Amino acid sequence: MVDKKNVIEKVKQNRSDFMDFLNKYNVVELAIGVVIGAAVKDLVNSIANDMIMPIVGIISPGGSWRSLVFSIAGSEFKVGNLLGATLNFLIIAGIVFVVIKKILKVDKVDSKKKVI
């Protein structure tokens, strides 16, 4: 027969260990960061695809530069797709850089206020 007291103590200890794990490794903050990161990704992709890329399409000759393909020996090299992905990356990286720089600047200002 299983001793109820020992089982309850083990459950309490496991719960305590689990809570210590969550606190020690900031698991909740990490989960929040992942959720917010996914939302920011969608926002930045929308800015890149819906606001900036149409301007690039107007400027580029022919307008459909993303469909540019080179064929060599029966193999297709989707250069336009690669250029589009590279341009998307640069736009997204630039936007994230500016946002993070602003956030870090705000953190520096807040930390200076706390010292005074």
Confirm if 66 and 80 have CB atoms less than 8 A apart: yes
- Average pLDDT, integer, range 94-112: 77
Q: What percent of the chain has pLDDT over 90?
A: 3
User: How far, in Å, CA of 103 to CA of 108, rounded?
Assistant: 9
d(CA 42, CA 48): 10
- pLDDT tens digits, one per residue of 68-85: 788 899 999 888 888 878
Q: Which of 76, 75, 78 is nearest to 65 (CA)?
A: 78
Cα separations in angstroms, 111 against 52, 108, 114: 35, 5, 5
pTM over 0.85: no
Domain made up of 4-115: CATH architecture: Orthogonal Bundle (1.10)
